A and B are shown apart, each in its own frame.
Chain A
Amino acid sequence: MKGFTPLILGICATLAFSWMGLAFIPNLQIGHLDPQTDEEGKDAYPVPKSGMAERGRRIYAANGCFYCHSQQVRADYAGSDIERKWGERRSAPRDYIFERPVELGKMRMGPDLANIGHRAPAEDQNAPAQGSPAPAVAPSAANASPTPGGSAAPGAVTANQAPKPQGTPTAVPSTATASLAAAASPPASPSGKTQVAASPSPAIAAGSPANANVANAAPAGPSPPAPATPDAGTTLASLPTDSPQAYSAAWHHQHLYSPRSINVDSNMPAYKFLYVKRPVSGQVSARALKLRGEEAPREGWEIVPSYDAECLVAYLMSLDQSHPLKEVKSAAPAPTSPSPGKSAK
């Protein structure tokens, strides 16, 4: 090397070149995207998340969820993400314009979460599921248990699309978030109140160290007590048969608290520190987790989500890239005939 100056200049120039190419120019290209709207300027997508979901994103980042869960759906030619029902189309830069920090992820020790909120039961089905141990809409096709053997997963996708009022022009927080927030803070909205009013008796029954028949012993619920779930025979027999409807808020809470009570094969750590165990004062809280077996608290105690846990679940419920984007070719709609043995988890 001849001189000092050319060395320094070369060192700086090479990195400047790289920074220009991989940071600066992409920023010109995709760094200033706007939400997409229809012709009348309505139906904006994406929209910023609610406050709770934003706080939940912090929880998600702080506890390193993104080391095991990605949030990106690859195109059908680049992987089996779409076949696994992780999304109906590939993810695009526009899906993430309000995300900070963006949690694309790098590893899949757990399934992709880009559309986990979309895979939740629709709002009207979701709310009762919070209150009663047995899903109120049990016979519907949307009853996707964690390890569905057969028709549950594709059914859930199609069933969810119809009732979901995602397109409401003024909807700033996504509907899933709104319903969850309401459920989390009972006095906040009328729907929350009705739900609380409807729920006490099954909740109390579930709070006791119950056996699997407890659902039948609580006939006062808002809906006929579906005898466990209809797919009880097809799920793992040793598991509680009345775990909440898949990907509902209640499901997430139970899954976070005790992953293997929902799926014995799960490799996820439990996040018990996000939950509070406390003595029951008066009635069992509507938010209390409905746990079975050895995870269940002693009589007179209940396990409720902390505010952080509520926010984390609000965030998960807000993850939804199902809205079509003009720049992305959507894959064919979910097939009506399921392929056997497929897991949507």
Chain B
Amino acid sequence: MNSAASATDPTEIPLKAPSSVTDLTAGDVSQVERALIDASTRVPVLMFYTSALAWLLLGTILAGFTSFKLHSPDLFSNVAFLTWGRIRPAHVNVMLYGWASMVGIGTAIWLMARLCRTTLRHPLLLVAGGVFWNLGVLLGVGGILAGDSTGYNWLEFPLYAAITLFVAYSLIVSWAVLMFRFRRGGPIYITQWYLLAAFLWFPWIYLAAQTMLFVVPVQGVLQAAVDWWYANNLLFLWFGSLGLGTAYYMIPKVIGRPVYSYHLAAIGFWSYALFASWTGMQRLIDGPFPAWMVTASIAAMILALIPVATVGLNHHMTMRDYFPLMRYSPTLRFTVFGAMSYTVFSVLGVMISLRSFARFLQFSEVSIAYSHLGLYAFFTMIMFGAMYYIVPRLVGREWRYSSLIKLHFWSSVYGIALMTLMLLAGGLVQGLNMDNPTLAFTESTQSVLPYLRGRSLAGVLMTVAHFTFAYHFGLMLFGLGRTASVPTFLNPVNPDPEEMVAH
């Protein structure tokens, strides 16, 4: 899995080392320090990244099955483990726990080490955690395909897989605590708030959901409430926090300019923690629940626009005058795209939460568009950006082909944009037809099929993006990146590249 990263002495790694270690300026000292920190995170982070990418490719293949089978239902329908109702949760869970969680943890490890300004201690703990995590996902996906799904949305992993995941997580979080214990000086940076919060929130929501669904199960419809509470908090408090925290690091770092406002960031963080955590029940509008639960979540969705606005404003003001840099830096391009998608995602989330819209859209494909906006256009794109920044610092090479990065970016962007449009338009048509009782029900499902075919096309684009990136990452992993002192830019930089990208 991480053959290229197999244990060499971390200090011997040819990082972007200063020209001479003996002739030290203050800048050189901090550069050496960073190099040492990067080197100490090398094995676990690359391991998490490699696993995450393997899951991404598997999840992409499963997504292809999911998408094509939706408009061609007879495809492979004779095979039990390829039935749509198993492929779909397998795809979702591979993406959630295999790809997104692992790439998020990998990035968080690196960010934490950098921001705590301490070398990573006990990397084997993390490696063990990563092994267990992979095992948990493998067991879970195998369980789902074998017909062992629990039947709870986003918690389909059977209990044996859930326990494995939790063991893995305990190993990882204990490392995070260690890291904070050895943290050096200074105020806690914004990214660290988000990462620390994510690391504390995830085990809580996971444990609470598992307990209330399987250990001491709650009665009847409350299972659905707990399930949606978990799913939305996983989206917001786990993936959302990891994504926002990463963006708060990458954007200022790449453009070499501090975050516009610390206070704005604090408001954004705490309002996010307060309001985003109250969402979830808006997915159950007019279901068999006390109306106040749903109303509370709708209100929370609307109030969650406060953090969206503050975070968006903060990023925008930080980026102001620096937007042209997106022409050169892959990291910036992916990250800014992700940060902008976060706004779109949140606004769409509010819209589909309003009762007047939910009447039409609640049971339509629009909710799929929403999930993909959150998990792909926002979270995954930011993580791609982070990987473009971090991986060269771990392997001591630069990305080999700027053309591949461009291909990755544009096929991702066109893929997710086409997918979102298709699902939004198709979902709208579907929902309107469904709400019209003079039309046969099958009218609604038939009317969405052309859009689903369009979505499959979008999926092909994203498949291209993922395999391109995986290939490029593989080159890096096997030491086939460029040896250069400057990062790989998307387009040739004329004047002075050093000014463009701070390290």
Q: Which A residues contact B (CB, under 8 angstroms)?
A: 1-2, 4, 7-8, 10-12, 14-15, 17-19, 21-23, 26-27, 29-33, 58, 60-68, 70, 72, 74-75, 78-80, 83-84, 90-111, 147, 259, 263, 265-273, 339-343, 345
Contact A93 B289 (CB under 8 A): yes
Tell me which residues across on chain B come within 8 A of A70, comparing CB atoms. Answer: 363
Contact A11 B73 (CB under 8 A): no
- Interface pairs A-B: 8 shortest CB-CB: A64-B85, A61-B151, A96-B220, A343-B440, A18-B277, A78-B286, A108-B363, A83-B437
Q: Which of B116-163 contact A (CB under 8 A)?
A: 147-153
Contact B151 A66 (CB under 8 A): yes
Max chain A Cβ within 10 angstroms of own Cβ: one of B86, B287, B367:
B287
Contact B281 A22 (CB under 8 A): yes
**In angstroms, how far is the closest chain A Cβ from the Cβ of B79?**
7
Contact A32 B197 (CB under 8 A): no
Asked whether B455 is an interface residue with its Cβ less than 8 Å from the other chain, the reply is no
Known: A23-B225, A104-B224, A269-B74. Is A64-B89 also a contact (CB below 8 A)? yes
Contact A109 B280 (CB under 8 A): no
Chain B residue at minimum C-beta to C-beta distance from A112: B363
**In angstroms, how far is the closest chain A Cβ from the Cβ of B235?**
14
Q: Which of B180, B221, B274 contacts A96 (CB 8 A)?
A: B221
Chain A residue at minimum C-beta to C-beta distance from B66: A67
Tell me which residues across on chain B come within 8 A of A266, comparing CB atoms. Answer: 442
Known: A62-B148, A70-B363. Is A93-B436 also a contact (CB below 8 A)? no
Asked whether B208 is an interface residue with its Cβ less than 8 Å from the other chain, the reply is yes
**In angstroms, how far is the closest chain B Cβ from the Cβ of A254?**
15
Tell me which residues across on chain B come within 8 A of A109, comparing CB atoms. Answer: 70, 445, 448
Q: Which of B349-380 contact A (CB under 8 A)?
A: 355, 359, 362-365, 367-368
Contact A270 B77 (CB under 8 A): yes
Contact A67 B237 (CB under 8 A): no
Asked whether B226 is an interface residue with its Cβ less than 8 Å from the other chain, the reply is yes
| 27 contacts across the A-B interface (CB closer than 8 A) | A8-B200, A12-B204, A18-B278, A19-B208, A22-B278, A22-B297, A23-B225, A31-B218, A31-B219, A31-B222, A33-B220, A60-B151, A61-B149, A61-B150, A64-B86, A64-B89, A67-B89, A70-B363, A72-B287, A74-B286, A79-B435, A83-B437, A98-B220, A104-B221, A106-B363, A266-B442, A270-B78
A343 to B441, CA, bound (A): 6
**In angstroms, how far is the closest chain B Cβ from the Cβ of A33?**
7
Contact B296 A84 (CB under 8 A): no
Contact A33 B148 (CB under 8 A): no
Convert B209-234 into 0s and 1s, putting 1 for each residue whose CB lies closer than 8 angstroms to a CB of A: 00011000111111111100100010
Chain A residue at minimum C-beta to C-beta distance from B360: A79
Chain A residue at minimum C-beta to C-beta distance from B368: A107
Chain A residue at minimum C-beta to C-beta distance from B281: A22
Q: Which of B71, B84, B437, B449 contacts A84 (CB 8 A)?
A: B437
Contact B218 A273 (CB under 8 A): no
A335 to B219, CA, bound (A): 35
Contact A18 B233 (CB under 8 A): yes
Contact B288 A64 (CB under 8 A): no
Known: A1-B190, A15-B205, A269-B69. 18 other contacts (CB 8 A): A1-B188, A18-B229, A19-B208, A22-B229, A31-B218, A64-B86, A67-B89, A78-B286, A80-B437, A93-B221, A96-B220, A104-B221, A104-B288, A267-B70, A271-B77, A271-B83, A273-B78, A339-B437
Known: A67-B88, A107-B363, A263-B442. Is A15-B229 also a contact (CB below 8 A)? no
Q: Which of B284, B290, B436 contacts A104 (CB 8 A)?
A: B284
Max chain B Cβ within 10 angstroms of own Cβ: one of A17, A99, A101:
A101
**In angstroms, how far is the closest chain B Cβ from the Cβ of A82?**
9
Contact B288 A267 (CB under 8 A): no
Tell me which residues across on chain B come within 8 A of A1, comparing CB atoms. Answer: 187-188, 190, 193, 266
Q: Which of B151, B287, B367, B448 contacts A62 (CB 8 A)?
A: B151
A239 to B137, CA, bound (A): 45
Known: A30-B221, A341-B440. Is A101-B152 also a contact (CB below 8 A)? yes
Max chain B Cβ within 10 angstroms of own Cβ: one of A4, A32, A72, A259:
A72
A78 to B237, CA, bound (A): 30
A16 to B153, CA, bound (A): 22
Tell me which residues across on chain A come within 8 A of B8, comparing CB atoms. Answer: none
A92 to B196, CA, bound (A): 40
A340 to B277, CA, bound (A): 46
A79 to B441, CA, bound (A): 13
Asked whether B201 is an interface residue with its Cβ less than 8 Å from the other chain, the reply is yes
Tell me which residues across on chain A come within 8 A of B484, comparing CB atoms. Answer: none
**In angstroms, how far is the closest chain A Cβ from the Cβ of B182?**
13
Chain A residue at minimum C-beta to C-beta distance from B271: A14
**In angstroms, how far is the closest chain A Cβ from the Cβ of B326?**
29
Tell me which residues across on chain A come within 8 A of B147, comparing CB atoms. Answer: 62-63
Tell me which residues across on chain B come within 8 A of A83, comparing CB atoms. Answer: 437
Q: Which of B77, B78, B219, B273 contacts A32 (CB 8 A)?
A: B219
Tell me which residues across on chain B come within 8 A of A270, comparing CB atoms. Answer: 73-74, 77-78
Contact A15 B204 (CB under 8 A): yes
Asked whether B283 is an interface residue with its Cβ less than 8 Å from the other chain, the reply is yes
Contact B290 A339 (CB under 8 A): no
Known: A74-B287, A103-B151. Is A21-B84 also a contact (CB below 8 A)? no
Asked whether B438 is an interface residue with its Cβ less than 8 Å from the other chain, the reply is yes
Asked whether B170 is an interface residue with its Cβ less than 8 Å from the other chain, the reply is no
Contact B224 A102 (CB under 8 A): yes
**In angstroms, how far is the closest chain B Cβ from the Cβ of A66?**
7
Contact B221 A7 (CB under 8 A): no
Asked whether B167 is an interface residue with its Cβ less than 8 Å from the other chain, the reply is no
**In angstroms, how far is the closest chain B Cβ from the Cβ of A326?**
15
Known: A101-B150, A267-B449, A273-B79. Is A26-B438 also a contact (CB below 8 A)? no
A300 to B392, CA, bound (A): 66
**In angstroms, how far is the closest chain B Cβ from the Cβ of A303?**
12
Max chain B Cβ within 10 angstroms of own Cβ: one of A11, A18, A96, A102:
A18
Tell me which residues across on chain B come within 8 A of A100, comparing CB atoms. Answer: 217, 223
**In angstroms, how far is the closest chain A Cβ from the Cβ of B370?**
11
**In angstroms, how far is the closest chain B Cβ from the Cβ of A76?**
10
Tell me which residues across on chain B come within 8 A of A97, comparing CB atoms. Answer: 219-220
Convert B254-292 into 0s and 1s, putting 1 for each residue whose CB lies closer than 8 angstroms to a CB of A: 000000000000100010011001101101111111100
Tell me which residues across on chain A come within 8 A of B448, comparing CB atoms. Answer: 109
Tell me which residues across on chain B come within 8 A of A75, comparing CB atoms. Answer: 286
A272 to B76, CA, bound (A): 10
Asked whether B80 is an interface residue with its Cβ less than 8 Å from the other chain, the reply is yes
Contact A339 B438 (CB under 8 A): yes
Max chain B Cβ within 10 angstroms of own Cβ: one of A26, A80, A147:
A26
Asked whether B446 is an interface residue with its Cβ less than 8 Å from the other chain, the reply is yes
